[in-house]
């Protein structure tokens, strides 16, 4: 199992790679639908913000001792979320709205949530099991891993959105 510091470095790298991709887009581009059926880059950011808000609550919520390796679910999370050839359905509560977003405000909101997750990695015991009915009974370690691979998946999505916008 990775150490909390190794997990933090991986989390920060994924977060920074995502911010770099979305920050490179203009205010107009970030709100442009690149192709039919796609989210805008701003909607991807809002989706991650909504997901992060939920993960922050779960990370800081009630926990219980874990009776399995705290990272047992990691290979499955990586296999699912890093398979960019598949489209995954999003739970209703984290589907983004159809509004036009202010680029700086939505990126700032994203960074604020990420600071809270980074603090959780640094200060919480990552081995207990959390209560999260939609996700089974993951450990804090697995939740952080989910946040990382979810971010990597959406960094790839923003890369594809950017390529479509440039080609248009």
Helix (H, G, I), strand (E, B) or coil at 54: helix
Question: Above pLDDT 70, what percent of the chain?
Answer: 100
CA distances to 1, 56, 106, 110, 139 from 65, rounded to whole Å, are: 17, 19, 36, 30, 9
User: pLDDT of 29-76, one tens digit each?
Assistant: 999 999 999 999 999 999 999 999 999 999 999 999 999 999 999 999
Phi-psi region of 124 (alpha: psi -120 to 50; beta: other; left: phi over 0): beta
C-alpha distance across the termini of the chain, in Å? 44
CB-based burial label for 122 (10 Å; 0-12, 13-18, 19+): exposed
Question: Above pLDDT 90, what percent of the chain?
Answer: 94
d(CA 46, CA 154): 11
- The number of beta carbons lying within 10 Å of the beta carbon of residue 15 is 23
Dmax (CA) of the chain = 52
Q: Could you tell me the domains of the chain?
A: 4-167 (1.20.120.450)
Pairing of strands 63-64, 129-130: antiparallel
pLDDT of residue 164: 94
- The number of beta carbons lying within 10 Å of the beta carbon of residue 85 is 4
- The number of beta carbons lying within 10 Å of the beta carbon of residue 104 is 10
User: pLDDT of 67-107, one tens digit each?
Assistant: 999 999 999 999 999 999 999 999 999 999 999 999 999 99
């Amino acid at each position: 199992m990775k150490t909390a510091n190794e997990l933090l470095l991986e989390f920060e790298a994924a977060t920074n790679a995502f911010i770099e991709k979305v920050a490179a887009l203009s205010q107009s581009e970030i709100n442009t639908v690149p192709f039919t059926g796609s989210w805008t880059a701003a909607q991807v950011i809002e989706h991650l913000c909504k997901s992060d808000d939920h993960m922050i609550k779960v990370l800081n919520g009630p926990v219980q001792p874990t009776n399995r390796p705290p990272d047992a679910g990691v290979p499955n999370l990586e296999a699912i979320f890093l398979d960019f050839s598949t489209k995954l359905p999003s739970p209703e509560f984290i589907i983004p709205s159809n509004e036009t977003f202010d680029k700086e405000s939505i990126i700032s909101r994203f960074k604020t949530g990420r600071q809270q997750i980074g603090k959780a990695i640094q200060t919480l015991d990552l081995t207990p099991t959390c209560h999260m009915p939609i996700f089974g009974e993951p450990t804090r370690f697995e939740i952080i891993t989910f946040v990382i691979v979810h971010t990597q998946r959406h960094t790839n999505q923003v890369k594809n959105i950017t390529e479509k916008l440039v080609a248009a």
